Amino acid sequence: MAEPAMDMNSAAGGRRGRSGGGGAARRAARSAVSLETAKFIERNIPNLEVLNEEALAIIETNAETVLAEIGVNFADNPAALERWRDAGAEIEGERVRIPRGLARQLCATAPSAFTQHARNPARNVDIGGRNLVLAPVYGPPFVRSASGGRRYATMEDFRNFVKLGYMSKWLHHSGGTVCEPTDVAVNKRHLDMLHAHMTLSDKPYMGSVTEPVRAEDSVEMSKLLFGADFVDQNTVMTSLININSPLTFDSTMMGALEVYARAGQACIISPFIVGGAMAPTTVAGTLTQVLAEVLAGVAYSQLVRPGAPVIMGAFVTSIDMNSGAPTFGTPEAALITYGAGQLARRLGLPYRSGGSFCGSKLPDAQAAYEAANSLNMAMLAGVNFMLHSCGWLEGGLVSSYEKFVMDADQLGALHHIAKGVDMSENGQAMDALREVGPGGHFLGCAHTQANFKDAFWRSDLLDYKPFETWDEEGARDTQTLASLRVTKMLGDYQQPSLDPAVNEALADYVARRKDSEPDAFG
Amino acid sequence: MAEPAMDMNSAAGGRRGRSGGGGAARRAARSAVSLETAKFIERNIPNLEVLNEEALAIIETNAETVLAEIGVNFADNPAALERWRDAGAEIEGERVRIPRGLARQLCATAPSAFTQHARNPARNVDIGGRNLVLAPVYGPPFVRSASGGRRYATMEDFRNFVKLGYMSKWLHHSGGTVCEPTDVAVNKRHLDMLHAHMTLSDKPYMGSVTEPVRAEDSVEMSKLLFGADFVDQNTVMTSLININSPLTFDSTMMGALEVYARAGQACIISPFIVGGAMAPTTVAGTLTQVLAEVLAGVAYSQLVRPGAPVIMGAFVTSIDMNSGAPTFGTPEAALITYGAGQLARRLGLPYRSGGSFCGSKLPDAQAAYEAANSLNMAMLAGVNFMLHSCGWLEGGLVSSYEKFVMDADQLGALHHIAKGVDMSENGQAMDALREVGPGGHFLGCAHTQANFKDAFWRSDLLDYKPFETWDEEGARDTQTLASLRVTKMLGDYQQPSLDPAVNEALADYVARRKDSEPDAFG
């Protein structure tokens, strides 16, 4: 297997400088602490399964009925209709009716797990199986910070969020559109976004999907970063293909999917559902639609290129029937997320769902309740790839600086829950129980001394101090603590090293492509 | 079965007045809306089980080893030692060593489920099986409100929290020491507390445990409320008996347990563990200790009275090894809570754990993350009785007015998750999928119209409005919204009706007992 064309020696970052220089080495050693990145989560606890065998069979049968009798639309995409016709589907206008069993059969060539490579191999992620890979918020046009309030996102914000993601220990993935940089032309911003992920972080990233040509740019830039041969032979991007629920596949998203599938790059194929609006109000009805849509979308990816890596997605919220607003962290969404995980595992596909979802406008208690509900649910639902795992605010309209670090801190707890219960002799701790006995205390015993450093997950953000200390220090709430942490992290940030030739090639590509067409906005 | 000696006709409350009076009836009708109380949760989803059969067997064997080889202390309690000796245990000083299998065998007479009666039979709760009963915070000496800050709790606060509990739809139980009324003498406050639960609410309540004589007062006052025969034949209190972990049973708590067991009243027998201090740092070691302590405590209750209703408790947090502070909502506590649930079910006992736990000083994002982690965990761990399910702040030092209503609102989500997935024809929603088809929307379809009212859980507190509306209304955070809700609820409160003769008897009892001894403080 070819190695990516870059300097991998300095995984811990540090600015380029005289190698072996004492000051630089000390700076690198200091920075190495804050640049620790946890390995993706490998679960040692079971998934929660809310559907029994009978319920699963009913939903699977109903999904086949949807595909065979109702069908799905592939809009403005004659080539897709042709592929479906050749595969045995019935075509009527843009409607594709898929005979029972055909979609599932086509899905069988999709791998059940795959590795997404990062330019720093220590950051590679294995997506599938019992693993969970965490990626940040995706898509918001606004940002919010404690000091700056709510405003349109800029490219500077984008770079800041990539830096925060790079420095967040529990985040395995740099993500994609961490916010929408509205100050750059809509037909060019993908170039700056990719460039930021490639140069400001060494974690894996996502490609552009807003036009097929932007997906092609993503592949080309990845070839500059990893080497063309490496990209031909390996997955270096996982990109987000949303389905226009209900049951519609538009040509823009399908065009991007086609580019990535042909290039052997991974896509999340994901219904985007506000229950009650884009799907029925019921859990079982929504699961039926989710499965039908994923079956059609994944089958299509395999028609484009058998074996192309894909993830079954399920982005599901419910609607507030009073205001029409989407709601997050709700029990109905939880049941759908648990059930969709079971369907994904039966289909043999990696599963994407969950996130730091909330409807709150502020990183307050509402935001935290809703996000914690969703994060815990995603962990227990067997999610393999969690987009939006930190930073989501206001129904996805806002990337929040403070909530980014608040959620990212909570992701540490998920890592520790996933470990399950250590049943080794040390884990059983009978020595400690014998040593201490009735009425004693364990703080000083040998077992505690040997174990206390790694025994408990510890927040890097939340306040555990006694009331009096906390009060003397200014009685700060979580948002205030998070704001300080954002400032500290951005101040401490050091760019990971990159081969200057690669750096230059990427900058040239971005400049050349930007010059090739006029700016477009809107 | 005897009926309680009180007027049960007006479950929805309303002040006593001319029966049938138009104004009173209208007031009752209005108040009936806010006085809706959900039935206790009946789970239709599985529990999360983190321990396999082998791990469970190891922990159970180790717990028997602890009881047989290390033993437990029953301090200052010669009668208890005598009971244990008669049962076949080995006594050495205060140490009781229990032969393998004996404690588990004694536990077999404890019921696997029981009904706790409320003075309003519509509020009775069934504790055990797949049910979950929710009760409020217990024990804090301080209160906090947005307007008043943090201060010592008073009897007025206590009454306010009982009123809030009475009016909280998702709360099934009035609880016990919802805060510690520090302005009433320590030897008399239990009388005022019981009186408040009995007269300001019609939900089930807990008895006093701080001295055996106060447990006797609790039984006597319950006889005035329910009738002596009814109390003899039924469980009308569930009280909290903490074990002095590690492995110590003090005579005060055991004295209260003895009173309640003899009276056929229920007790939660609960290790109180800050992991790393009162138990080993490991999950398996802590579970071993929890099981050993519960086996000994429950067995003892059955020595006092075979068949006495008991609940296996597990109050477990971990310690922050930097500051020594207890921490809440942590992954290690979650694993212990899941595992202890499995042990309780194998022991055939109802299970108490979980709560709205947090270490935060404010009802902010930290408080909500930690509480949501704990509430979700308790739901999925199979907890049957959740004390502290709302209002807990600052590691249990503070009852928070705002957090009480914030948590109580979230409890609604637990009710909806527990419903599981409706697989009826209506639940499958194939009609909706057929009617809407690709590219349509579900808001207007017949299935949505028929289902939308009950389709989704809706918060009564959190803000789902669009940004602009929310901003115009003052950009309020969750604490601010909760503060308004507290004021509204206390303003709307109407006392549930009670037979004037019972009311008078209770007041007389309290006055007489208060006069019988001088005030004690501290």
The three state secondary structure string of A333-374 is HHHHHHHHHHHHHHHCCCEECCCCCCCCCCCCHHHHHHHHHH
pLDDT-derived band at A73 (thresholds 50, 70, 90) equals very high
Region of poorest pLDDT, from A200-204, A320-324, A345-349: A320-324
Dihedral over alpha carbons B211, B216, B218, B221 (to 10 degrees): -150
> Measured between alpha carbons, how far is A75 from B44 in angstroms, rounded to an integer?
41
The confidence score (pLDDT) of residue A12 equals 36
CA gap A465, A467 in Å, rounded: 6
Separation of alpha carbons B422 and B440, rounded Å: 24
Residue A28 or B489, more confident:
B489
Angstrom distance (rounded) from CA B35 to CA B496? 10
| Cis amide linkage into residue B246, ω under 30° from 0 | yes
Chain A: closest CA distance from residue B41 (Å): 14
For A433, the closest of B66, B433, B479 (CB atoms) is B66
Question: E strands, A46-153, where?
Answer: 72-74, 90-92, 95-97, 113-116, 125-128, 131-134, 142-145, 149-152
* pLDDT tens, position by position, A389-400: 999 999 999 999
3-state secondary structure of B72: strand
Contacts of A321 in chain B (CB under 8 A): 452-453, 455-456, 458
B482-509 pLDDT, tens digit per residue, is: 999 999 999 999 999 999 999 999 999 9
| Å between A376 CA and nearest CA of chain B | 7
Contact B471/A at CB under 8 A? yes
- Encode pLDDT of A249-266 as tens digits: 999 999 999 999 999 999
| Mean pLDDT (whole number) for A12-32 | 40
- Angle, CA of B304, B307 and B310, to the nearest 5°: 85
Say yes or no: B272 contacts chain A, CB-CB below 8 A.
Answer: no
Per the CB < 8 A criterion, the answer to whether B237 and B194 are in contact is no
Instruction: Please state whether the predicted TM-score (pTM) of the whole model is above 0.80.
Output: yes
CA atoms of B359 and A224, how far apart (whole Å)? 49
What is the tens place of the pLDDT at every residue in A188-215? 999 999 999 999 999 999 999 999 999 9
When pLDDT is averaged across residues A296-320 and rounded to a whole number, the result is 96
pLDDT bin (cut points 50, 70, 90) of residue A35 is confident
Q: How confident is the model at residue A522 (pLDDT cuts 50, 70, 90)?
A: low
Lowest mean pLDDT among A15-29, A180-194, A320-334: A15-29
Q: How far is B113 from chain A (nearest CA, A)?
A: 24
Note the pLDDT of residue B30.
Answer: 43
Report yes or no: B200 at the A interface, CB cutoff 8 Å.
Answer: no
For residue A70, the chain B residues in CB contact (below 8 A) are 433-434, 437-438
- Say whether pLDDT at A20 is over 50: no
* pLDDT tens-digit readout, B9-37: 333 333 333 333 344 444 444 444 357 89
Give the tens place of pLDDT for each residue, A357-401. Answer: 999 999 999 999 999 999 999 999 999 999 999 999 999 999 999
Per-residue pLDDT tens digits for A207-238:
999 999 999 999 999 999 999 999 999 999 99
Residues A285, B432: C-beta atoms closer than 8 Å: yes
Q: Which residues of A61-86 are buried (b: 16+ CB within 10 A; e: fewer)?
A: ebbbbbbbebbbbbbebeebbebbee
Q: Do B58 and A283 touch (CB under 8 A)?
A: no
**Cβ pairs A/B, distance under 8 A:** 406
Considering only CB atoms, which chain A residues are within 8 Å of B367?
365, 368
Q: Tell me the pLDDT of chain A averaged across its residues.
A: 93
Mutate to test the interface with B, among A47, A369, A436 (most CBs of B within 10 A): A369
Note whether A442 contacts B280, CB cutoff 8 Å: yes
Amino acid identity at B330: T
Whole-Å CA distances, B174 to A135, A181, A408, B193, B260:
43, 52, 37, 11, 18
The pLDDT mean for chain B works out to: 93
Q: What is the pLDDT of residue A322?
A: 82
Q: Which of A452-456, B46-50, B229-233, B388-392 bottoms out in mean pLDDT, i.e. has the lowest?
A: A452-456
Read off the pLDDT band of A521 (50, 70, 90). confident
At residue B522, the pLDDT reads 65
**CA-based nearest distance B512→chain A, Å:** 39
Nearest beta carbon to residue A368 from set B246, B369, B430: B369
Q: ipTM surpassing 0.90, yes or no?
A: yes
User: How far is B356 from chain A, CA to nearest CA, in Å?
Assistant: 11
Query: How do residues B148-203 score in pLDDT, each as one tens digit?
Result: 999 999 999 999 999 999 999 999 999 999 999 999 999 999 999 999 999 999 99
The stretch A51-68 carries a mean pLDDT of: 98
A122 touches chain B (CB under 8 A): no
**Cα nearest neighbour of A429 on chain B:** B285
- Residue B521 pLDDT more than 80? no
Structure tokens, B76: 């200052």
Nearest to A282 among B71, B429, B443 (CB): B429
Which of A278, A284, A448 lies nearest to residue B276, judging by beta carbons?
A448
Average pLDDT on B110-124 reads 98
Is residue A114's pLDDT more than 80?
Answer: yes
